[in-house]
Each structure stands twice: as C-alpha cells, then as structure tokens.
Chains A and B, each alone.
Chain A
C-alpha cells in the first residue's frame, strides 16, 4: 500500500507497538524541528494533546517525501484554519469551543435578522420619499423630474438587495451552505459603503467621523459583525443547525412584517404623536428582551448573542446625546424612528441584555464539586 512507507522490519514494528504511543510522543519531542513545534502551538491545548503527535507525524511524513525540513506556508495556513475551526465549535473541539461556536452562530443569526429588518424599513423609507417627491413634482407642473427621486430609486434597489441577501444568508447558513451564506452576509456591509459613497454623496472618511454620522458606523458594525461571526461560527454541512431552519425563517418573516407594519402606521398616521419615534426601536427591543429572558433560563448563549449583535447600535449614542441635548428628537422621525431615540432605546436594551446575561450565567453556573468533610 502506498501510504505505509517506512515500516521497518516486522520485529521493529512489534517492538514499537509494545513501546506504545507514549514512547512515540517522547521520541518525537526529542527530534522534531522547532518550526513544526511552533506550527502545532497554533492548535488549542486540549486538541494538541489529543491529536498533536499524530498531526506532527503526518507533517513529518510529508516533509520527508518532499525533501523539506520546515513546514510549507500551505501547511501553516491549513493548521491555522483547523485551529480556528476547532476553537469555534467544529467536531473534535472542547465543550468550551462548542459553547463559543453556539454564541457565534446565534450572534450571526441575530445580526442578520436585525440587518434584514433595518433594510426592509429603509426600503420602505426610500419608497415613501420617492412618493412624496413624485407628488410634489406632479403638483408643481414642472417638466423636469427631481434628481433626488432617481437617487431614492437606486437606494430602494440596493437596499432591497441587501434585505434579500441578509435573509437568504441566514437560511443558507442554517442549511449548512456556509460559503454562500457568508458571501451573502457580506452584501450588508458593502451596501453601507455604497450608501455612504453614492447615496448621500459624502466622502467615505467624512461619513464615519463625528457623532452626527454614527449611523454609518452603526450600520457598518451591524453588517460586519454577522459576517465575521458567521464565518467563524458556522461549519460547512453542519447537521446541528438544520433543525432550526424553519423556526428561524418564520421568525424572520414575523419580525419583518411587524416592523414594516408599525413603520407604515407611524409614517401615515402617528408621526405627530408624542413619543412615536420610540415605537419602532421599542418594537425591536421589547420582544427581544422577552425572548432572551426566556432563553436565558436554559443557557447564557442567547443573552450573550443579543448583547453582541446589538452592540454596534451603540455607535448612535454620541448622536443621541447631541440630539437630546438640542431639540430632543433629531434624525429621521417618522420613517424608522429618530436616530436619537434608537440610540437611547438600544442603550436600554443592551443594559437589559447584560443584566439577563449575568442572571443566566449565575443560574446556569456549574455547581462546585462537593468535597467530603473531614
């Protein structure tokens, strides 16, 4: 068989078998080049203790066959990738890695859900603005259409794309199609960059500087976080995630429909009501807190995921402070709630999530081992 070179004589093999794997590990430690030891240090300690000697043997076999004395770049990158996967819940990792993977996956799903809801509301906002401009153009009797209506049309188009991409990304990730899921999750942050550079005509650097533009930073964070957590937390063809696909799709549809309906109601009839700018952010936070409180009874994974997924929205806080110190409203009142109100409600939500997380960690703590009294 081609894969069993370097066997030695039958007697040598018998002796080696009798010496056992522990002796083999000791021998390897004595003779292995430092570069291979350093590559193995990339692996988590528990995994390295279980698999390290075996992987080292395979690396050294490959090095002998190719006449090398150091690991190749390809091998180093491959071990680095394995290390990341094992640390984030792939098969073969520790229970702690499993827990981290669970939090990463939940953060990705929550972030994508939030993103899809925001883009759905933004599409509605662009459509509403277009309708207003269209009506004013018709009533003015002008023959030239306002340039802004075309701009809002473009906005509505790419934001629709981002909405579909964020929704489909979660479905694909849950179906085990990681590559496509991550690719679609990248559409969100790209849309934010496009929004900044084309939509508002601002320069990229200007848009992210200063409290007034915290909205871009928040949106970029809301896009990048699910992308990173999806790339790290989901494994290709993971059977564990498929069972929740239907529930998640139903949740996405329900959340999007409720938020869109509420936005439409406020825009049409409730704009003048005092406090209406708080309704949409509250409609996100209140059910989320209720859900997290329920899920937190069993595990701290959901509270931690919601805390992480909502954190980028805190980039709105400087704007909240500025606006609430001024006219008290600020931002896009009526279409998606004011920026100031969103920042304030998000802060409240994050504080509640943090509280629930602390409670959940306490509730689900591992009992200390009982020691016998002497």
Chain B
C-alpha cells in the first residue's frame, strides 16, 4: 500500500530542493529554475521562497554555499546538503511509486499512456 503521507514537504519545497540538485543557486536563480522545471506553471513568491529557505536550512537540507555581489546586488547561493539530497530522493521514490500505480491502473482501463517506469517530477509533484 502506498503511504502518500510519509512526506511532509509541499510541492514548492520539493521543487526548491530539485532546483538545487544540479548546482548552487541564489534566490532569483531558484525562482527561475522552478519556473523552468514546471514549464512556467509555478512562480515562487519571494515570501514563500525565503520562508522555505529558512526552514530547509534549519532542518539541514540546504546550506549556504557562498555570498557574492553582482551588479550591486547581494546574492547568497544555496546548495543541497547530503541530507537534502536523501530527502529529495525519498520524495522522488514516493512519487515514482504513485506514478507507476497510476499508469498501471490507467492502462488497465485502456487509457493510452507512456513512460510507465519513470516519474516526471515537475508534473507529479
């Protein structure tokens, strides 16, 4: 049986973790990366972003990578910690299991659907 409540991270938090999976990013970089990941459907609000960054940093899922000043603007770059990567992997596993189950059931109904073995993170978060 699938335990959909095992994670307490919202879709936005999942997307922030995912955005940082490749490389450290600063605040607006995360906003842009999340928009790219979701095809423009999710536009992170600044208050949501910094609330999440504070919480994820306190939980040890993110860490400050470096500070820079670019064009006179202070930019702090955040990176995913090993704990953060493990949490992200846990969320992906959970969503993959849900996607597999959904695909199986839709196929059983005769609904044509592809990519049964992979979960598209942006679409299922």
| A residues whose Cβ falls under 8 Å from a Cβ of B | 1-4, 6-8, 13, 16-17, 19-21, 23-25, 27-28, 31, 51, 53-62, 65, 74-75, 77-83, 85-86, 90-92, 176, 235-237, 239
Please provide the 6 A-B residue pairs with the shortest distance between their CB atoms, ordered closest to farther: A3-B29, A92-B54, A24-B69, A78-B47, A82-B47, A57-B73
Total chain B interface residues with beta-carbon distance under 8 A = 38
Additional pairs, 16, CB under 8 Å, beyond known A17-B69, A28-B74: A2-B33, A3-B33, A4-B29, A13-B68, A13-B70, A16-B68, A23-B69, A27-B69, A28-B73, A57-B26, A58-B31, A58-B49, A60-B73, A83-B47, A85-B51, A90-B54
Q: Mark B15-29, 1 if CB is under 8 A from A, else 0.
A: 000010011011111
Q: Mark B45-76, 1 if CB is under 8 A from A, else 0.
A: 11111110011011100000001111111111
Contact A55 B36 (CB under 8 A): no
Secondary structure call for the A interface: helix
Please report the C-alpha to C-alpha distance between residue A80 and residue B53 in the assembled complex, in whole angstroms.
17
What are 23 A-B contacts defined by CB distance under 8 Å?
A: A1-B33, A3-B26, A3-B33, A6-B71, A13-B68, A17-B68, A20-B67, A21-B69, A24-B69, A24-B74, A28-B72, A54-B76, A55-B50, A58-B26, A58-B50, A61-B28, A62-B28, A78-B48, A80-B47, A82-B46, A82-B48, A85-B51, A90-B54
Residues of the A chain whose Cβ atoms lie less than 8 Å from the Cβ of B30? 3
Contact partner of A27 (CB less than 8 A), chosen from B26, B45, B72, is B72
Contact B55 A4 (CB under 8 A): no
* Most chain A CB atoms below 10 A, which of B10, B22, B57, B70: B70
Residues of the B chain whose Cβ atoms lie less than 8 Å from the Cβ of A56? 73-74
Residues of the B chain whose Cβ atoms lie less than 8 Å from the Cβ of A176? 8
Give the distance to chain A from B60, nearest Cβ to Cβ, in Å: 11
Give the distance to chain B from A171, nearest Cβ to Cβ, in Å: 14
Please report the C-alpha to C-alpha distance between residue A27 and residue B69 in the assembled complex, in whole angstroms.
10
Contact B9 A237 (CB under 8 A): yes
> Is residue B103 within 8 Å, beta carbon to beta carbon, of the partner chain?
no
